Structure 1
Amino acid sequence: MTQSPATPLPPPKERRRLREAGSLTQAQVAARVGVTRETVRKWENGRTTPLGRRREAYARLLAELARDTADSPVRTKTPPAPAPEPAPESEPAPAPEAPPAPSPEPALEPDVPAPALTPAQAFDALYAFCAPALVRQAFLLTGRRELARESVERAFQLAWQRWPEVAVDRDPAGWVRATAYEYALSPWHRFRPRHRHPEAPPADASDRALLDVLLHLPPPHRRTLLLYDGVGLDLPETAAETEASTRAAANRLLRAREAVAARLPELSDPTELTRRLAELAATERLRAARPPVVRTASERRARFWTRAAIAFTVALIGTTALTLRTAPRQYEPPVPSGETVQGVPPRVAPGPLSEAERELRSKLREETVSGPQRLVPQGG
């Protein structure tokens, strides 16, 4: 019976539980439904929901797994007691012994939820799941092994600093992948002395040719090609991660494929291109640091920037206080410089007194302080 599209599918966690209970891998489920393993992983993570015929096939498969799980025995039965052996004819047959009491069946224990992971354990699980593949992807983006490892470690350091935000994200792996890609494709790396000289290319000639074609693509086209043909994202997800419209992402993908096919015609088939990208990434033995090392480096970096911010704030407060202490409280305008007034002769310094001037000075000093006597008019 075909499931109606209106009938909801089991929750994402139940889908994964049914697959594991049926001892099936994601690749086996993908082969039975007719999709890729990456699509099955997204269905089980809740990122996407199947539609149309794929939804019906997936629903039938989950229903079969649910029936198989329900029909499987969950109780253990006690084996029947062996029949007593017949006694010899010369001896009377002994009385049959009472059958042993059946052992009590084990009670079914309720499902006990697994203990919740600590933030460090959840981070380590995400790092162990994503870091190896991200390092290889970053190598395809940059062509540099050290920069690839540094990009992934820096992305996970930032994720640990923002773990409350990353832990509740719908796709923590996508969050870290986008951060690592942004850091790897930053144009500022060209000014670093350690990145001015190219690294040794791969040993195989075909790998060198493919890597050279990738590195000559514009960074947006290279990133779109890697996400779509390398990682296996669909077009809307690729557009969302590259912060572009679906039409722009499709144009970038077509141009990138045309550029690759122009130089390597054997890779004009997208399936062959996907296989060669996986082989090129797998040939490089790139290892990321261990999760505790990344967490420790992230905490150390966070402490350094926190202390730097505190020191800068204290220095700014001290400078402001010193300025307020030493600044004048009243504004005094500066005295303007003198200017020459037209039409007024310059002032001449007095020279030595003559004899007549000295006599006049002596006479004035001998007069009374109040000055000379007034002339009083007298009547005639």
Structure 2
Amino acid sequence: MKQLHVEQLAQIRKAEVEFGDLTLLVGPQASGKSVFLQLFKLVKDHGPITKTLKRYGYSYEPGATENADDPLLTLMFGEGMGAIWRKESRVKPDGNTVDLTALRKGNGKDQESVFFVPAQRVLTLDQGRPRSYESFAALDPFVVKSFSEHLRRLMEKGLGGQDNQLFPIKSRLKEVLRDRIDDSIFHGATVTQEVHDLKKRIVINAGGATLPYMAWSAGQREFMPLLFSLYWLMPSAGSARRKGVDWVVIEEPEMGLHPQAIQSVLLICLELMHRGYKVVISTHSPLLLEAAWAIRTLQDNKGTPEALFELFDLSNSPGMRDVFGAVLSDKVVRSFYFEPGEKGVSTRDISSLDPFSEDDSIADWGGITEFSSRASDVISRLMQEADE
């Protein structure tokens, strides 16, 4: 899919996103970013999704509920979301209209092509143990339950390395990425599995102490499910990827993380792009937009990998040189603003991210830098007045 066009769905009046190798979606809370991304997942993977629902005994045909809510929408988006697709709604992937009838039929595929990391990922770990699909409420969003079940199966199959160590593992991720994650998130600690109450759980070992789930920092709790996802998406420290998986969607990867840790996540996203995945991110982080602006500017001005080594404060290494070279030479970076209005949300293509643009949506990066720009103007004016 190169483009998804949506009209009159939930709070979205009109949204049109043309995807790049890295696509950033920005906008205030409740502006439809998550609805749009879950819809993207449903359009791409309705076959595997409907098969999963059947396997767990859910009925998603019209009339399965007493009210007018559509059961497939309720099961996909969560309780209270069953009426977001109205008569006037239009959903067009690459210009081809699809409807709920077609999505209910499935597409005969078993393999999901979109790996979706939801914003609610912290809910997938219960005392350091990934939760099963059926441990969630029946009407919790599909992407949360599916993601958690995926992590649980990974743990069952033996995700760890020697001595049940989960981080760091030499065969997982490039050394430079492991080092950045360690420096920004774990600070020399190791992550392992141990048996507690006859069940395996994930713990952090720091300074000779074993820290259970509730003793982790908020950032560590947010990052851990993402880390295990990356292990699966990047099965070796080389350039391998998962067959059949083309897209990686990550909602708000910055949650709970220090800016240095967000840089580590961004480096991992560049690695995912280098391996051939298309990455779509919803974010409120100016750091991610700054990186997108820097990459596009370097591309336009024939920048070299050395500039990205300097940007990310990294020592030159062959592996990351390949990643940076690929990003600068043939990867497309796009950004879209979900802009609320009186008649609903519409999208704006702000991919240039030109801080000198006359369009405020572009110059302020979808409102993300609006306050800092205003603060700079206020302080600058006050200092000029003081000099006078």
Q: Which of the five TM-score ranges fits, normalised by the shorter chain?
A: under 0.3
Instruction: Give the alignment's TM-score, normalised by structure 2.
Output: 0.24
TM-score by length of 1: 0.24
| Higher share in strand | 2
Larger radius of gyration: 1
Tell me: higher relative CO, structure 1 or 2? Use CA pairs within 8 A at least 6 residues apart: 2
Higher helix share: 1
